[in-house]
Amino acid sequence: MAVQEMLGELYEGLNAYFGDLRWWPGETPFEITVGAILTQNTNWKNVEAAIGKLKKAGLLDPLKLYGTGDSIIAGLIRSSGYYNIKTKRLKAFLDFLHNEYAGDLDAMFNEGLCTLREKLLGVRGIGAETADSILLYAGGKPVFVVDAYTRRVLERHDLITPDWSYHEVQALFMDSLPHDTPLYNQYHALFVQVGKQFCKKQPHCDGCPLENGLTA
């Protein structure tokens, strides 16, 4: 079976089981951007708590957060873990947004995909997965996000091996599927859901929509 067909079958199986997952949760592009930075090395429940405190404090605004002291931010995002490091990462992003786009997130997202991606990867603390999450979910750019769940599912179905780089895994999708933001959005969300529910570090295959594998 061709790679394109296998990825299509994988998507169809997961999508039929889980339905529209409406991921990434967030009321504004800036909230989604902050969430993408805070979710590094923690679970979403902890990030939700941190975002809730930022929201309650009225700081989910690029200019307001930019002008807020590090100690205040760190206290509010404590639940996200590594809160001092993540405060520095948020501030690094906000410095970038202020210096490059006068704090205007819309102006940032008006930048071309490739150009903006390279710029984001130059921001301290923002790696490929975080940059692509910001681009896809906050900016609506057609770029595929690769995470640990994606790798785990693909490896267990012999579509990739552990030595594949982030770029190689991403290219598997972007070279085989239409460059379509809603498709990439839902596909990544499906990997997250199946990873959390079935394809855990210790797999729970009974009842998984991919239990019988892909068609040979």
Identify whether 202 is part of a domain. no
* Domain boundary, last residue among 120, 138, 156: 138
Same-domain status, 178 and 112:
no
Residue-range definition of the domain harbouring residue 186:
3-22+144-197
Q: Identify the band that residue 211 occupies on the pLDDT scale cut at 50, 70 and 90.
A: confident
Share of the chain above pLDDT 70, in %: 99
Domain with 72 in it: what CATH number?
A: 1.10.340.30
Same-domain status, 91 and 182:
no
- Name the phi and psi angles at 213, rounded to 5: 75, -165
Task: Taking residues 138-153, report their average pLDDT.
Answer: 97
Identify whether 214 is part of a domain. no
Same-domain status, 85 and 108:
yes
Q: Identify the band that residue 213 occupies on the pLDDT scale cut at 50, 70 and 90.
A: confident
Judge contact between 169 and 150, C-beta under 8 A.
yes
Count the Cβ atoms, other than its own, within 10 Å of residue 124: 11
- Mean per-residue pLDDT of the chain: 95
Same-domain status, 95 and 35:
yes
Asked if pLDDT for residue 36 goes beyond 80, the answer is yes
The per-residue pLDDT for 26 is 92
The structure tokens 């100690």 sit at: 71
Same-domain status, 102 and 189:
no
Task: Taking residues 57-86, report their average pLDDT.
Answer: 97
**Region of residue 41 (phi > 0: left; psi between -120 and 50: alpha; otherwise: beta):** left
| Listed residue (10, 22, 86, 11) closest to 54, CA to CA | 86
CA 126 to chain centre: 11
Identify whether 13 is part of a domain. yes
Q: Identify the band that residue 42 occupies on the pLDDT scale cut at 50, 70 and 90.
A: very high
Give pTM, 2 decimals.
0.95
* Domain boundary, last residue among 97, 120, 138: 138
Same-domain status, 118 and 151:
no
Same-domain status, 166 and 96:
no
Task: Taking residues 154-173, report their average pLDDT.
Answer: 96
Identify whether 208 is part of a domain. no
Give just the sign of the alpha carbon dihedral 35, 41, 45, 46.
negative
Share of the chain above pLDDT 90, in %: 93
Identify whether 203 is part of a domain. no
Same-domain status, 160 and 66:
no
The per-residue pLDDT for 131 is 98
Q: How many independent structural domains does the chain possess?
A: 2
Identify whether 213 is part of a domain. no
DSSP codes joined into one string, 90-141: HHHHHHHHHHHHTT-HHHHHTS-HHHHHHHHHTSTT--HHHHHHIIIIIT--
* Domain boundary, last residue among 95, 121, 138: 138
Identify whether 179 is part of a domain. yes
